[in-house]
Amino acid sequence: METADDGRGRGNRVRLDVRLINPFISGTKEVFEVMAGLPVKRKSLSLKQDYKMFGEVSGIMGLAGDAVGSVVISFPRQLAESVVSKFLGIEEGEDVTEEDVRDGIGEILNMISGKAKTLLANTEYHFRLSIPTVIIGQDYEISHPKDTPCIVVVFESMNLKFVLQVSLAPQKKQE
């Protein structure tokens, strides 16, 4: 178990099951490093209490199977463009289109979730992947199930922050 801020702004700590979040953290680091040569630092871990998104570019994937929930990755626009150009090997000065950003962020989320899925096989958090959706905009909200904790991990790459939020709980077995 690891502790995290409870997200209510009072400095309270709550305990988190690291078996759930660690595969997503290592998956994020591996995807950035292997596919784009980008080092990523994990900065903080907390519980999310609202639905507001961190950045202008967010990829969302619903997860279903033995566990149900969602995973979201959210970037400031500038970092999303820089990360996608690194993945694509686009030279400096060349344009990254909105379609490149949309598709690239979706694929990054797909790979992170895929790594986590493999690492969570044979646990109660095992899930199936779905096709990711990417939203580009400002001041939007993405909901997660009220009765499932939503863990927010802040990362830093190229001196800018991005977040990964995971809201996943084992399915209640029918009696």
Partner 1 sequence: MGLKVLIVDDSSTMRRIIAKTLKSLDVDEILQAADGVDAIMILNDKKVDLVLSDWNMPRMNGLRMVKKLRENPDTASIPIIMVTTEAERASVVEAIKAGANNYLAKPFTPDALIKKIKETLHL
Interface positions with partner 1 (CB under 8 A): 30-31, 34-35, 84, 87-89, 99-100, 103-104, 106-107, 110-111, 113-115, 117-118, 121, 129-131
* CA–CA gap between residue 25 and residue 28 (Å, rounded): 5
Closer CB to partner 1, 20 or 47, in the complex: 20
Least distance from C-beta 5 to partner 1, angstroms?
30
Backbone angles phi, psi at 121, to 5 degrees: -60, 145
Residue 158, burial from CB neighbour count under 10 angstroms (0-12, 13-18, 19+): middle
Least distance from C-beta 15 to partner 1, angstroms?
28
Closer CB to partner 1, 7 or 114, in the complex: 114
Closer CB to partner 1, 16 or 111, in the complex: 111
Closer CB to partner 1, 4 or 120, in the complex: 120
Least distance from C-beta 52 to partner 1, angstroms?
27
Least distance from C-beta 123 to partner 1, angstroms?
12
* CA–CA gap between residue 80 and residue 22 (Å, rounded): 23
